[in-house]
A and B are shown apart, each in its own frame.
Chain A
Amino acid sequence: MNVPLSHVLAVASLLFVIGGVCAVARRSVLMILVGVEFMLTAASLAFVGGALAHGNLDGQAAAILIMGLAAAEAALGLALLVHAKRGGATADIDGYDRLGGQ
């Protein structure tokens, strides 16, 4: 391989930071979800690199579990967005400032 674990972790943390910046800087609900998906992928990448470094398969199992989590999160987040759009809301996160009521 010739790739040290620290380089894998550096790539994963860079992807995590890109996802975090995407989740914080964007106003569209959809792009916030994309940023969260990037952060989850970065965590999976760190898990897979750790599995290779430690020579066991626990990290790969964790990466597969993270994928199931991300699928549930994306489905529910997008359904909430469709529900909100149907109720007349926009996809702009600035409009989401109520816990209840309207």
Chain B
Amino acid sequence: MTALGALFYLLAAVMLAAAGLAATRRNPIHAVCCAVIAFLASGGLFAVLGAPLPGALQVVVYAGAIMVLFLFIIMLLGLPVGAGPLPAARLALPAVLGAATFVSLFVLAGADPAGRLPLPAATAAPGNVGAVLFGDYWLAVEAVSILLFAALAAVLLLGKAKRNPTDGGKPA
């Protein structure tokens, strides 16, 4: 096994363990910190799979911006804090359904014989990714930018919603 292959399995184990911890912690701050570790490991996985630009963006956007936003919201709202893992009874049915989903996905992924060939070790230059993104996928980039603008407008609207005096003080 090459060093890259060993790094892939190591990062995958770290990511899956951190994601599993994040899914089962009742304290939201612990859960979000575990999720940050999972997203950092997934950024490393992207880099190992030859995608340094998505890997760096994963660290900057997910672990750096989105999860910090989650932590900020938890601290701003003072969400109730539980201790320890979730009760097993509540996890049982979703875990059974999830296991069935995983088995069917695994069978689907393993059905392709080409999927058993070892992947080549390649690295994509960020400039080439940008050329593909803004060349072949310019329409999708524009759609995402409009989506982000719509989200920004909606967040501003929700943040500025004033209390309506004729409605018993409920927010408009």
Contact = CB atoms under 8 A, between A and B. Distances in A.
Which 3 A-B residue pairings sit nearest by Cβ, starting from the closest?
Answer: A22-B23, A13-B105, A9-B109
Given A1-B118, A21-B23, A57-B129, A48 B46 contact: yes
B69 A64 contact: no
Nearest to B54: A63
Q: Is the interface of B mostly helix, strand, loop or mixed?
A: helix
Contacts of A8: 8, 49, 119
Interface string A1-37: 1111111111101111111111011101011011101
A68 B148 contact: yes
Contact of A85 (B23, B54, B77, B106): B77
Contacts of A21: 23, 91, 94-95, 97-98
A86 B155 contact: no
A60 B53 contact: yes
Given A15-B42, A41-B42, 15 more contacts: A4-B116, A16-B105, A25-B90, A34-B31, A34-B35, A44-B58, A48-B50, A52-B49, A64-B57, A68-B147, A71-B61, A76-B155, A79-B158, A82-B77, A82-B158
Interface residues of B, number: 88
Given A11-B12, A75-B155, A18 B49 contact: no
Contacts of A74: 66, 69-70
A interface bracket (residues with beta carbon within 8 Å of B): 35 or more
Per DSSP, are chain A's interface residues mostly helix, strand or loop, or mixed? helix
Interface of B: 1-2, 4-5, 8-9, 12, 15-16, 19-20, 22-23, 28, 31-32, 35, 38-39, 42, 45-46, 49-51, 53-54, 57-58, 61-62, 65-66, 69-70, 73-74, 76-77, 79-80, 86, 90-91, 94-95, 97-99, 101-102, 105-106, 109-110, 112, 114-122, 124, 128-129, 132-133, 136-137, 140-141, 144-145, 147-148, 150-152, 154-155, 158-159, 161, 170-171
Interface of A: 1-11, 13-22, 24-26, 28, 30-31, 33-35, 37-38, 41, 44-45, 48-49, 51-53, 55-58, 60-61, 63-65, 67-76, 78-83, 85-88, 91, 102
Contact of A64 (B54, B154, B170): B54
A31 B65 CA distance: 17
A25 B144 contact: no
Contacts of B39: 37, 41
A35 B154 CA distance: 22
Nearest to A63: B54
A87 to B, nearest CB: 5
